[in-house]
Amino acid sequence: MEVEFRNQELEDLYEGKKPKSKTFKSNKPLVKNYIKTVKKIQAAPDLNTLKQIGSLNLEDLTDHSQGFSSVRIDGKYRLIIDLIKDDSEEVNLIGIEEISNHYS
């Protein structure tokens, strides 16, 4: 699936640029797992395939983030994404929004 980065720092991290925020500077495994997660999203041909990748645990968000979904980066962090539909109501683009600490 095609991805669109909505956060410049996350795009920079994906491209291998040096992290600016303390969270990413001090957590190299998080950055590595984030890049792996984005690559899994890109490799999926469609939403159904993405849902079948158990390690991602794709789920719709509730509460303050309605309209967004998330996938698991690791046991502590999730990647917040926007499933963007085309005119035929098929998801054909994933907006990469932010990395969230799942337990904070």
Whether residue 82 has pLDDT greater than 80 = yes
Chain mean pLDDT for the chain: 92
pLDDT band at 42; cut points 50, 70, 90: very high
Q: Count up the domains in the chain and report the number.
A: 1
Q: What is the mean pLDDT of residues 49-59?
A: 95
CATH value at residue 44: 3.30.2310.20
Domain hosting residue 27, numbered range: 2-101
Share of the chain above pLDDT 70, in %: 95
The alpha-carbon radius of gyration of the chain (Å, integer) is: 13
Task: Give the span between the Cα atoms of 26 and 4, in whole angstroms.
Answer: 26
pLDDT of residue 90: 87
What is the DSSP annotation of 22-91?
A: HHHHT-HHHHHHHHHHHHHHHH-SSHHHHHH-TTT--EE--GGGTT-EEEESSSSEEEEEEEEE-TTS-E
